[in-house]
Chain A
Amino acid sequence: DTGVSQNPRHKITKRGQNVTFRCDPISEHNRLYWYRQTLGQGPEFLTYFQNEAQLEKSRLLSDRFSAERPKGSFSTLEIQRTEQGDSAMYLCASSFLQGNPGNTIYFGEGSWLTVV
């Protein structure tokens, strides 16, 4: 068990460019979550997947954001036409949910995005 892996860990991009982040969850986990965290704030829910199905998207996730989990394993989060307000840490997390919603969510180290 290598934990939740995210890459790249840091990304600096110019405004208007597209960026993509990848998350590899813990292998047997069927749930995968994306959160966004800005300085001094708690993680804000963006979206989550149950296997390959995207079950919920936050209103924070504008149409410039898209997330996929094509085979129910790794996931990608793409931000198109980045804006300075997108600068944040993007956290991926995973869990195994089978009837017990109290299962622990395990977080990756996060991917820092700076839009200049």
Chain B
Amino acid sequence: DGGITQSPKYLFRKEGQNVTLSCEQNLNHDAMYWYRQDPGQGLRLIYYSQIVNDFQKGDIAEGYSVSREKKESFPLTVTSAQKNPTAFYLCASSTLQGTGELFFGEGSRLTVL
């Protein structure tokens, strides 16, 4: 089945550690996105990429980094510089043409201890 796979589903981190969240898609989508979801708030865009080896900051990029070495993969690193990293992280993908509908993964919940 085509879709988006995020891993791990749950992750615990000590303060001061970097962690990397994986996102892989087999939908042949050009664009990929990382969102952060906090209770009672709408999704906020962290980073997005429309093409391999290129990515752009979203609204809340500080303390995060990404790479796009392959079309299928868009990993997100939550660095120690992110002051409030505990959240639910969602990866999404879309085509660049047509409806622009976002397809989401199942999410990764990061908890900083």
A binds B: no
